[in-house]
Amino acid sequence: MARDGDESAFAEILRRYSPRVFRVASRFFRQRSLVEEAAQEVFLKVFSELGSFEGRGSLEGWLTRIATNTCLNLVRSSKRRPELIVSDLTEDESSWLENKLAATASERHHATERSLVAADLAGRVLQTMAPDDQLVLTMIDGEDASVKDVAATTGWSESKVKVQAFRARRRMREAVEKLLRRKTTTADTSVAEAGS
Amino acid sequence: MKSEHIIEIIESGPLSHIGADELARVRAHIADCVKCEEAFTAAQIAAALLKEHQLESFAPSPFFSHTCHGGPS
């Protein structure tokens, strides 16, 4: 019915699938306003391309794919990715990182506290990475999606997903390592200055 | 075995998917290799960050719910 331009059918699609679209957009954007803009663009695209949906797969799968690719393109077209440095961290983020480091060192890392601070820091680290890296990491390592799921969502081959995930994991790990190294250096300098 | 670096293990898949045997190999190796220990610590933090990230998701705004309850479309 929506394909025939039925307004109530459009409304039903919006109602049923907006949580899904918002979840996909939240993988890419940390600000509500950006998530909202992305969702609006996704639905514009969905409604204009609904005629081309052949009904072979699920509508949700088709819509998720549009949402993912729309968000990827939005991130790709935005400004250059900033490098995250220790001085950019808020006090809360800095202390989360310190606690995490201490917990990891003392083997207590399994007790992960679910905090907004960490989610925000995660978003900031991810924003320094390429959109494709962000996507595979949030889906595979964050949401436990399978390689097959990511391939279906993006239209990439499973081999590409595997290689992308492997490289993205390395880049994320290196970004965190860099952050930790700088943090240690900053702390050492502060101690040295306090002692002099 | 102990002398082989473990970077490939920690990058081959999500950290939570590493099996007990491989984890034991990682732990044995990082006891003597500072570089790999740093990499493993960073990988653990990265994994924790990614788990936190997926917990934060925005809910649809009123525009979408108004539309669904028969409001402006």
DSSP A86-125: GGGS-HHHHHHHHHHHHHHHTT-TTS----HHHHHHHHHH
Question: Which residue from A113, A118, A111 is spatially nearest to A94, judged by alpha carbons?
Answer: A118
Residues of chain A in contact with residue B65, where contact means CB-CB under 8 angstroms, are 15
User: What mean pLDDT comes out for the span A119-146?
Assistant: 89
Whole-number Cα distances in Å, A191 to A87, A194, B38: 17, 5, 22
pLDDT in tens, B50-71: 888 777 778 887 777 665 444 4
The domains found in chain A, sorted by start residue, are 1-78 (1.10.1740.10), 81-196 (no CATH)
**Given pLDDT bands bounded at 50, 70 and 90, which one contains residue A7?**
confident
Q: φ and ψ at A146, to 5 degrees?
A: -85, 165
The minimal CB distance from B57 to the residues A22, A101, A118 is found for: A22
Is the Cβ of B58 closer than 8 Å to some Cβ of chain A? yes
Residues of chain B in contact with residue A173, where contact means CB-CB under 8 angstroms, are 10-11, 39, 42-43, 46
Q: Percentage of residues in chain A with pLDDT exceeding 90?
A: 37
The answer to whether A135 and A154 are in contact (CB under 8 A) is yes
pLDDT of residue A82: 59
pLDDT in tens, A52-108: 887 788 889 999 999 999 999 988 887 656 566 666 777 788 778 777 777 665 554
Q: What is the ipTM of this complex?
A: 0.78
- Is the per-residue pLDDT at B39 higher than 70? yes
pLDDT in tens, A11-39: 888 889 999 999 999 888 888 888 999 99
Selected for mutation to probe chain A from B15, B53, B55 (highest A CB count within 10 Å) is B53
Residue A192 amino acid letter: A
**How much is the mean pLDDT over chain A?**
82
pLDDT of residue B71: 42
pLDDT of residue A19: 92
